[in-house]
Amino acid sequence: MKIIFLILGTLFSNLLFAQRYSGVNVNSIKGKKYKDETGFQTYHQFSLGINLPRSLNYAGDAAWPWKLFKGYSYKVIVPGIQVEYAYNWQRIAIHLRYMYEKVDEQVNTPQEQVRNKLHQSTYGLGVHYKWLYQDKLRLYSGITLGSSIQKVWENGSGYNSTSSTGYGSIQLIALGIHYKLSNFGLFGELGYGKKGLLYAGAFYSI
C-alpha cells in the first residue's frame, strides 16, 4: 500500500510541476541559461537610417563622392535618408524601403555651364538572412532591388528646364549588425550600391 501511495504522490507532484510551468520557457527556469535559449521570433520592424557617400553610380545616380573632371562639382544638400519596414520571420526578413536625397550638381567648363538640382526618390524591396541570431545581437546579409525616380531642375545656357527619369537600383549587404536594447535598437551595414559603403540608423520593433 505504501508503494501505491508513493507512486501516486510522485505522479501528482509531477503534474503540479507541469501545470505550474506550462507555457514557460524551461530554459530560464531557476535562472539557468542554455545555448538554445533565444528562440526565433516573428516581429515587425520600423527603421530610420542615413547613408554616407555612396560606392556606386548605378544607372544615372548623380551623387558621386569624387570630382569626375576639372570644372565638375556636386554638393549633397540632403543625404540619403531612408525609412524602412521589415517583416521578420525565423531567420528571414522582408524589407520595404523608401529613400530620399537632394543633390546640387554643377558643370563649369568653357564648353558648358550647367547647374542641376536633383531630387531623387528610391523605392526598394529586399531580403535579409540572419546568420547569427541572439537575444540582443544579430548579424545578417542581404540584397535590395528597386527603382529610383530622379527629378532634375536644370539651369544653364540661358534656359531652365525640368525633367523626370527612372532608373533601377541595387544594394548588396555584405554585413549588417543589429543590436537590440529593448524594443529600440541600433544597426549598421557594410555594403555596395544605392545605400553606399556605410549605412546606419535606429529601429523599433513590435
Give the DSSP per-residue string, 79-105.
Answer: EEEEEEEEEEETTEEEEEEEEEEEEEE
Q: What CATH number belongs to 40-205?
A: 2.40.160.20
Q: Is the separation of the CB atoms in 111 and 79 below 8 Å?
A: no
Smallest Cα–Cα separation from 192: which of 51, 54, 67? Answer: 54
Domain boundaries, the chain: 40-205
* pTM recorded for the entire structure: 0.71
Cell of 36: 538554445
**110 phi and psi angles, rounded to 5 deg:** -60, -30
Apex CA 175: angle with CA 171 and CA 179, to 5°?
115
Per-residue pLDDT of the chain (206 residues; tens, 9 = 90+): 555 445 545 544 554 444 444 444 444 444 444 444 456 778 999 999 998 766 555 545 555 555 566 777 777 788 889 999 999 998 999 999 999 988 887 888 887 788 888 888 889 999 999 999 998 999 999 999 998 888 887 776 556 677 787 888 888 999 999 999 989 999 999 998 888 788 999 999 99
